Amino acid sequence: MDEQARGRSKVWTPLLFSVVLVAGMIFGFNLRDSLRNKRNIGTVIQRNDRLEEIIDLINQKYVDTVNNNLLYKDAVSGILKSLDPHTVYISSEDLQGVNDDLEGGFSGIGVEFSIMRDTIEVISVIEEGPAARAGVEIGDQLIKVGDSLVAGTGITSDRIVRILKGKQHSSVSVTLKRATSGVLKEARITRDIVPIPSVDASIMLDSITGFIKINRFSATTYKEFSDALKKLNAKGAKQVILDLRDNPGGYLDAATSICDDFLDDKKLIVYTKGIHTMRTEYRAAEKGLFEKGKLVLLVDESSASASEIVAGAIQDWDRGVVIGRRTFGKGLVQEQYEMPDGSALRLTVAKYYTPSGRCIQRSFANGRDAYMHDYEKRFETGELTGKNDTAALADTTRFYTSKNRVVYGGGGIKPDIFVPYDTSKLSSPLFSMVYSPELKTAIWDYFIRNKAKLKFKNIVDFNESFFAQDQIISDYLTVLKPAELINADKVLKNRSNYLYFKLQIKAQIARFLFRDNGYYAISLEDDEVVRKAMDVLSSSQYSKILGQ
């Protein structure tokens, strides 16, 4: 039996060696190919030494003193210049602020402030936040932080933010002045995590229409959104308007989670792929909070990235109607790599594609400057104002939605219904007046003087009962210089301008009383895009567009 086994071994051993040899050769060739694009460590060291040698020579021989950190930063920027506009280097000084926005919070005291007449005025206090627990109120003036005087000429918002932020559970002492009584109050505030809301507003526009505005897609966005949607559902929302205007994007998973609430049956939401990354698909997985009701998405030229993922998925599946103007056109996915010195590289690693197969990335062949100034080009060509209704899509390849509607890629998401930019309301003179420091101060002074009397049950009660805009306009006009007063009178003689100006004043008072929900409840009354959305939802146009 042993002899027989040895005989079989002699027969199979050469074959086994051959198989191992061939497998080893295949593995070796594959390994070589996989490493072909990776730099040899010697090359890396050599190139790094070359950069160090240049910087050393500059330090030793250059005619003036130089900042080494700036040299390195400029060197990195030069390397990235030939790549896409969204691959960026973030310095250690800027990284924390960038991360705070995306993570949805930071460690601070929990107030919003505005600088008026060189004085820091507390215009909002986060409910149950650190400052609220210490007794800080809207209208308080910030005089000192620790022993540092922060009232007076030259104070900046950046400086105040830096000194109010700090490690969680650390404490800071502040000296406040009550606006009405002038009494000084000292408070010791223990810093804590302060949320940065990404859902600006969630309100009912009528008995069946819910409205949600999202300003970015952060780590907390989906929870904020789902909480808002549940409350609107409980109030009777049968149709929803989701406002993604001016939303620059953010986390991919926040966008896909929101889409999951609108789409059913494991529908594809988006997929990503790149030369060095495999195709990854994101599909609806959970039972959504709003899979059946009517849905409208609002977008504009500043809706980018994750906003476009949501708009693309909703449009491709004919789940809702997209209204507004062509979106930004960012179809690239970045990953962030943090460096030992605290800086970071945000590197593009893949492109994303809508369910129909569209990549909506705009061309950046003409350089970063031209890419970032596309807004001006759209305005000049008349696309934004409706004078030229042909969107300048670089890619005219046809794609098809689930109901066989034609859509295009290569330049953003083109809405189903176009609403032009309203140049009359945002003309330079009127815009300057609405956002002038003089008007901001007049509104604030009125609010502080009348704070005790401004008692309303809710936003509806406020909207029906508040009529003090003319008094505020009068206060505003009295502080203007003669030339400014002439221009203001000329602008306000136009009835449309006058009514819009009054509405903005009312909306700002509503924000002090009811936060952002109050502001949007008032300001949306004169929003052409929202008005168009309401018209579409209440007519047969909605079904016609979606082929229902």
DSSP E strands in 339-485: the ranges are: 344-353, 398-400, 406-408, 417-418
| Three-class SS state of 304 | coil
Name the catalytic one among 316, 416, 516, 527.
316
101 is catalytic: no
Integer Cα distance of 282 and 253 in angstroms: 9
Closest to 329 in 3D by CA, of 357, 354, 298, 361: 361
Instruction: Tell me the DSSP string of 86-136.
Output: T-EEE-HHHHHHHHHHHHTEEEE--EEEEEETTEEEEEEE-TTSHHHHTT-
Closest to 201 in 3D by CA, of 468, 544, 459: 459
Name the catalytic one among 165, 267, 330, 532.
330
Burial zone of 230 (CB within 10 Å; 0-12 exposed, 13-18 middle, 19+ buried): middle
Cα 337-338-344 angle, rounded to 5 deg: 85
CA 17 vs CA 20, 22, 31, 402: distances in Å: 5, 9, 21, 55
305 is catalytic: yes
H-type alpha helices, 346-468? 368-372, 374-381, 428-434, 437-450, 459-465
User: Using an 8 Å Cβ cutoff, are 78 and 70 in contact?
Assistant: no
432 is catalytic: no
Name the catalytic one among 305, 307, 343, 523.
305
Q: So which residues are the catalytic ones? A: 305, 316, 330
